[in-house]
Structure formats: C-alpha cells, structure tokens
Structure 1
Amino acid sequence: MVKDLKKKHRLYMLGLIETKKQVVTRFDLTRLWGQGGAGWDFVGSDGVAGGLLLIWDELVFKKNKCYKGERWLCVEGVLVKNNNNCDIFLVYGAHNRDAKLQVWEELSYMAGLYQVPSCYMGDFNEIVHVEERQGTDVLPRSAEEFRSWIQDMHLVDLPLTDRKFTWFRGRSCSRIDRALVSVEWLEEFPETQIRGGPRGLLDHCPVILDYMSQRVGPRLFRSLDSWFTHEGFLSFVKEEWRGLWEMQFTDKLKALTVPLGNWHKTKFGNMDKKITSFEEEIKKIDDLVSNGVYDGMMEARRKALVTCCERWYVRKEVNWKQMSRSRQAKEMDKITRYFHNITSARRRNNRIDTLLINGRLVRNQAKIKIAIKEYYKELYH
C-alpha cells in the first residue's frame, strides 16, 4: 500500500497507525520508504496492538524534538524550504470515552508547549457530525466532547474533497480519519486540503494532506511609531525615496525596507544601552556635585543629558506601547481568525481542483477558469 502511494504521490511525510511493531529499525524503514535521506520516529505497540510510525524526507523537514504518548506521536521541527517551525502530531484515538478524554487532555498540554503551526493527523476513532457515520441520527456524548475539544483548541477540521467516509467494515462506514490544523498553520499554508487515497484491502482510506507554501501576495510594509520621534527620520526617508523615483510605488516600499532596517539598527538598535549611558553620565555629574565640585558648564551639560535621556525614555515607551498593542491585537484576533477559517472551509471544499475538459482531466487552475467561462458564455449566448 505504501509503495502504491509513493508511485502516485510524491511523499514528504508518511504516518502509519497500528503498525503492530514494538520496535522499528532502519531495515523496516528501508523496506517502507526505500533508500534515501529519511528520518523517523515511532511509538511501539503493546504486544500486537497499536503502534505509530512517522517517516519524513530530511530534505524537507528537520526534526528538533520528539514527544510520545501511548496513542500519539509529536515531532517538532523545521520546514527546510521556508525555515518555519511546526508541530506534526500522529494520533490513534482510543475506543472508550475515558481513554479518549485522556488523549485529548494530553494533546492539549502538548499544544501549550509550542505556539507554532500545528497539524494533527490520524485515526481519531470519533466523528464530529451525525452524517459522518452511516445510520446515525444522534451524536454520541464522546463525539460532542471531541467537537468541543476541537473548538477549545482553535483547530480547523479540514473537509475531505473527494469522499464522505474513510472507514468501512461490512455495511458500517464512518469518517474517523481526519486532519486538524491550527489557525497559525492555515495562515502559513492557506491552501491546505485533504483527500482520500485508495483503500485497497484495508479498512481505512489513507488521508493525503496537500499544502502550498506561504501565503502569496506582497509582504506588509510596517513602520514603528518611535521612528517619527527621531529628528533625522523624515529627511532620511525623503533622501532614500528620491533615489527610487523610477520605480513603482509598491516596489519603492519593498526597496525601502533594507535601508530602513539598517537605519533602525544604527539609531534604535540599543535603546537600553543608550539610556544606561546617559544615566551613568548624569550620575557622574551628581557625584561631582555631591563632592562640592560645581560650575555653570557642568549644569548645562547635566540639562543636555537629561533632555537626551528623556527623549530616549519617550522613544522606548512609544515602542513598547506599539509592541504591546500588536501582541494584544494578535491574541484578541485568534478567535476571530479561527471562526474566519471555519467559514473558509466551505470555500476550500467547493473549490474545483480538477475538471474533465474534452475528455482530458485538467488540473491547471487558469485553464479550468477559461473552460468554465467559455462554457457559460456559449450556454447563454
């Protein structure tokens, strides 16, 4: 089954549940993944029951730390391409309610350790909606608790794009295999989606998660309020802007970020050090006055030092005030972003990824848009 998946899809990471192996060796890894730079970690089975295995391409993902529970495996690391930290959880949900609650509690604790984009994948052994289990009219208590846990964790349950159920046994079928991602994950990879793979002889369909790189579009241009308290800031910007007169406006802003960064480092790089330096100079004058040494020049110098020190106090206060507002807004906006991403799930679910055009399956989004436009243009001609 793994070999079939590798033939059809380029795998960067593979999670296996119920391996029934107490120990996973390099030999086992080679049989599954083949030769090449692959990293792995596992949770051993209890006899022939359970067991988790996570394998990844080390050219794509670098592991920093690994945490393990009886029914979950967490690998914290870095995506090499964009140097982003993230957590990948592989989960095998318990079968009874008390054990499920314990798993949710352990995962909640782990989520608090690292505030990074997180993805939870696996067989959760639980549904979220009644339509996710054939013949079910009432949501069981454990399912209500699972749904509450997802909401409390501010996770987004990614919709399947190509099927309704992932587990089959006789006439029974359910959607218990899923991928849950944090709001931070969707901010970095807004086009994340999942689909089902071929089931073959298994009870479960593999769940395939696709993600695109960071959000498209220009980066935001940010400025600090404290810059405007510096007497040389506006003249510096005017001079730099004048040298970029042939560029488009957005290109000018982009080009301005480098000299602005260097200017900030030079002028504001060590505010605490500057303030400490002024305070030490003022103290030296105070010590001289305490010892009976005093003249008009000394008083003028002290006033100048106090003025400069006061100016840097103001700049530091302005800077910290802006930073605190940004952090507060970020914390307050988490819930808003969560519900925004919940509503965006419908849009992701309804997106047309492939379209049969003149007998050919087309995946190119531009060609799909043109074909749809031409179809309706001809239909309503």
Structure 2
Amino acid sequence: MQIYISNPQDVHIYVDALGRSGGLVSIWNPSLFECIEVIRNQRFLVVRGKLKPTGEIINVVNVYAYNAPGARRVLWAELTHLRRSVQGMWVFGGDFNDVREPAERWNSEFVALNAAYFNEFIEEAELVEYHMGGRKFTFHADNGMHKSKLDRFLVCTSFRDKWPSASVVALSNVVSDHCPILMTTVPIDFGPIPCRIFNSWLEIPGILDFIEQAMASFRFDGPADLHLATKLKWIKGMFG
C-alpha cells in the first residue's frame, strides 16, 4: 500500500493493471473537490479530500476485489482497518466480486460463507447501501445466462444521513459484461406519476358517455405539451 500527498493540480489518479487483471482510475472535478491524499493498493484506490462547497472531508474508495474468496477476505480486513483509522465520510464503490444474499445471483452459484464474510465486512466497517434502481444485476456472463449483483456503492452512516435521498442506478452494459453504476446526491425528478386506467373500468355502464362529457368540459390555454400533462392530471383527479 502506497500513501502520498496529492499535487493540487491533479485531477485523476490510477493503479496499473497486472497483465489483463486489475487496474483502477479515479477522476474528480477540481472545482468541487480538492484532493489532499491518495492511498494506492493493487485492489483499491483511496482519494481523500475536501468538498469545496462545505469543507467536509470525504474518502472515496475505488474497489476491484479479487476473484479468490480467501484473497477477498484479506481485502475486507484491510478496508475495515482503513475505514477505522482515517477520519471523514466514506464512500466505497466498484466491483466487490461478491453478493450479499441469494437473490443477488441468477442461474449462478451462491456461496453462503462468502456472503457472510462480505456482510460482516459491511457491518464492521459501519457501512450502508442505497437501493439500486435501473437493473437488478450488474454482471452478465455468457450472453446473460448468468447474472449477479457484484457492483455497488457502500457509504458510511454520516454520508447517508447527510444525503438520505441519494440514489444509485445501474446503467446499460452495451460494451461490457458489467453495468456502469451511478450514484447521485441530486434528487431526480422522473416527472408526473403516470395516469393508470384499468380495463375493468370500461365495463362500467355509461362510463364512455361520462368520459366524453368530462373531456368536453376541460379547458386549458397553453402549449400543447403542457396542455396534455395538465389534462392527464385533471383526468386522474376525476377518478380519485
């Protein structure tokens, strides 16, 4: 493990791959984050710095865990020690090469002992996980025949308490067998809640006449897209 003070002009740091294995890179926006210190290991990369808007210290850990279960357990111990010995908020993200429960694997072997060690690390390091949207699995092997949730974000409770509405989304895996995952602390507005109409409603006697009369009474003066959104909201209100 290598520790060194970052150059204030740095905006990225990396760990070289060993052949076709490993390799990590972390990149940050210098207008929002000031890197103070970097800790490099073949399987994790810690960027410690200050959030410029607030001055708070945060440690961001880029993780690429080993395939071998025994090596992963050693890595969990190293990360737990690091978490306890360095002050500030913590964010761990990357490929942990392990799952927490059977539901995080599909058509793949679940090893309860490996999951137990992984969950023990999360508990001892006092980390929590946001619910992941977008996709249930982040790793797809053999053309999607085997799937697992290997990639995730784990954060300390102080980070979660500061950003309780943060969200994590698994994106499309067009060019890789792993899905990129995105965590944002900015609330996401997915727009108006959809207006749902059940087929059974159409069987109610006189329903079509009622709808036609209601539509004829609707009035709105404005852009077409806003007209449609307002009309759908109005219809939804009619049905309670």
User: What is the TM-score normalised by the length of structure 1?
Assistant: 0.48
Matched, 1:126 2:98: yes
Counterpart of 2:55 in structure 1 is 83
Number of residues of Structure 1 aligned to a counterpart in Structure 2: 196
Structure 1 residue 374, shift from structure 2 partner: 5.5
Q: Deviations over 1:205-260 (max 9, x none)?
A: 100110149xxxxxxxxxxxxxxxxxxxxxxxxxxxxxxxxxxxxxxxxxxxxxxx
- SS for the counterpart of 1:57 is coil
Tell me how far apart the structure 1 counterparts of residues 184 and 25 of structure 2 sit (CA, whole Å).
20
Partner amino acid, structure 2, of 1:85: I
Matched, 1:61 2:37: no
Tell me how far apart the structure 1 counterparts of residues 133 and 231 of structure 2 sit (CA, whole Å).
21
Counterpart of 1:208 in structure 2 is 182
Tell me how far apart the structure 2 counterparts of residues 135 and 78 of structure 1 sit (CA, whole Å).
43
Structure 1 residue 114, shift from structure 2 partner: 2.0
Tell me how far apart the structure 2 counterparts of residues 50 and 89 of structure 1 sit (CA, whole Å).
15
1:175-324 aligned within 5 A: 175-212=149-186
Question: As a proportion of its length, which structure holds more strand?
Answer: 2
Counterpart of 2:237 in structure 1 is 377
Tell me how far apart the structure 2 counterparts of residues 138 and 146 of structure 1 sit (CA, whole Å).
13
Q: Given the alignment, which residue of 66, 72, 81 partners 1:109?
A: 81
Percent of aligned pairs with the same amino acid: 23
Partner amino acid, structure 2, of 1:204: H
Tell me how far apart the structure 2 counterparts of residues 70 and 64 of structure 1 sit (CA, whole Å).
20
Structure with higher RCO (Cα < 8 A, 6+ apart): 2
Counterpart of 2:21 in structure 1 is 49
Q: Decide whether the 8 Å contact of 1:38 with 1:57 is kept in 2.
A: no
Q: Decide whether the 8 Å contact of 1:44 with 1:51 is kept in 2.
A: yes
Question: As a proportion of its length, which structure holds more helix?
Answer: 1
RMSD (Å) for aligned C-alpha atoms:
2.6
Q: Decide whether the 8 Å contact of 2:108 with 2:146 is kept in 1.
A: no
User: What is the TM-score normalised by the length of structure 2?
Assistant: 0.74
Counterpart of 1:96 in structure 2 is 68
Structure 1 residue 169, shift from structure 2 partner: 1.2
Structure 1: 5+ residue runs without aligned partners?
1-36, 214-350, 359-369
Tell me how far apart the structure 2 counterparts of residues 97 and 51 of structure 1 sit (CA, whole Å).
19
Partner amino acid, structure 1, of 2:238: E
